Structure 1
Amino acid sequence: MAYAVVFGCIVVLGLPLNAASLWILIQRHRLKSPSAVFMINLALADLLLVLSLPMRVYYYATGTWSLGVIACVGISSLFSNNIRASAIFITFIGVDRLLAVVFPLRSRHLRNTTNSWKACGLVWISLVALSIPESVGISRLMQDCNLTTCFHPERFPCVKKQIPPSLKYVHSCSMLTLLAVNCIATSMVSWKLRSHLSDSVQVNKMNVMLIFATNLLMFFIFFLPVSLVLSVEKWRNAVEPALCLACINCCFDPLLYYFSLDSFWNKKEDDEPNQNPQPVMIR
């Protein structure tokens, strides 16, 4: 019942926050910069994650699942894919800021909306492709074990013995890789801002470092626990609490990320690359 309360609170808080964030980003920024594209996709991933939670609230509140294996696997796939998507798009935003600060001139041809949409499209396609074998494998295991529960088949011995290692560790490896990328990006930007920032780039240092500090906090607080409990066999009983923590991230993205940035409310994005070399303001 405690999980039902937690997931219910996430739905109540996260649904309006992410819907409002998505609307503001689309209406005010209108896809005019790479940052806006990544933020819109992040807000969309968080919104889809929230929309997958009402069935979890129902399951944990009643203790029963009567919608069948296909519905369980489909909702589980939507849930896990959008946790991964959130982590990926948070990383993309950090990498975009890294290119803008550390390689402002050499990255101009890369930092455009076309390439940003291509990268986002590749992410969504890859996540769907990854979810297909996972969904097929888990549905077969649930049918073979005659499970009548949902969302935590890893608890059952007959499932533990049959889950391929590639499926058990893919989430952990991907999250740890993204965390490493964020740590490297933060170090490079911090080093650049301290002593090697080019005069051709004007930077609001506080906002730039706020982005990277927020990204690292997101990973260490919300995403890293899930990676650890999935990697260590004796911690598998802590999967549900770790997933609850990962879901809470979708409520903090609008509060700690979007609304902490001045550019969130500005209609014009100043960091959009253009053809004429001139100082670039990184917000």
Structure 2
Amino acid sequence: MGSSRWRAASYANLVAPEPFYSIENFSPAGGLVRSSLGFAVDTRPLEAPRLADTWIIIGVNDPRVSETPPDVLEFVRQACAQARRTVGLCTGGFVLAEAGLLAGRRATTHWAYAKDMQQRYADIAVEDDRIYIVDGSIWTSAGMTAALDLAVGMVEKDLGADVARSVAHKLVMHQHRSGGQSQHSEMLDLAPKSDRIQSALNYARSHLNRPISVEELADFVHLSPRQFTRVFTAETGQSPAKAIEGLRLEAARLMIEQSRHSLEVVAREVGFRDRRHLREAFMRGFGVPPQAVRRDARRVPG
């Protein structure tokens, strides 16, 4: 786990009434281990079985071409069986899967490898669009910054919401994302190729609280409605209407997860007619009602 993730624990030690976390790094042989960024980390050798409150297993760049040594898998099985909590960060979830620790559980990993995990391990309920997942004593996360969200989630579980908020503030995290949040952004998924269509999307996102027509967007980027629709669909793979609904859904989801506004207010702020229209869009887009998203966002991990 990168130094910024460890910093969540070190900041928690500063904020809490007394130090709570003690961190050690381990590798199969011990000694200096060089990271993919070039710096070396001093580690202790794996000596089975070691007692620890929490084991955090980091990943590799491409789990499709990496195999975990059998002795490491056996250590993971024994050590994690005695731990209160086991964490698979990003593709570290593949190590837990190889060790059999995810069988019959819900889990996530980096979105680029989620389908591969599901194909290789049919007994795992892989949820490829979650920041992190807590299933009993096993925590798994998506990639990159999701590990920070998981780290703060562990601090919240161990030391409470006030300490977690303080840690998130020290880490300059705009918002601690709950595990149920999506790994994806609608704007990133659309990925327009031209500045013109990107400008249209930015304009739409800035005016979601009212109806937005194709004619208005086309006029904003100085195209005819017919030209705009053709270029927009070619660049994003979606019609303007479908893309705008996606932006409304994303904005609504964020409001529901991060605020206490009523669903009527959320619907009005992001351009849905009313609460019923919002629910219909959520069922189409996410397969769950907005109330379920709010419950998941408020649930304390683990």
Say yes or no: TM over 0.5.
no
Given the two structures, how large is their TM-score scaled by the length of structure 1?
0.29
Q: Which structure would you say has the larger Rg?
A: 2
**TM value normalised by structure 2:** 0.27
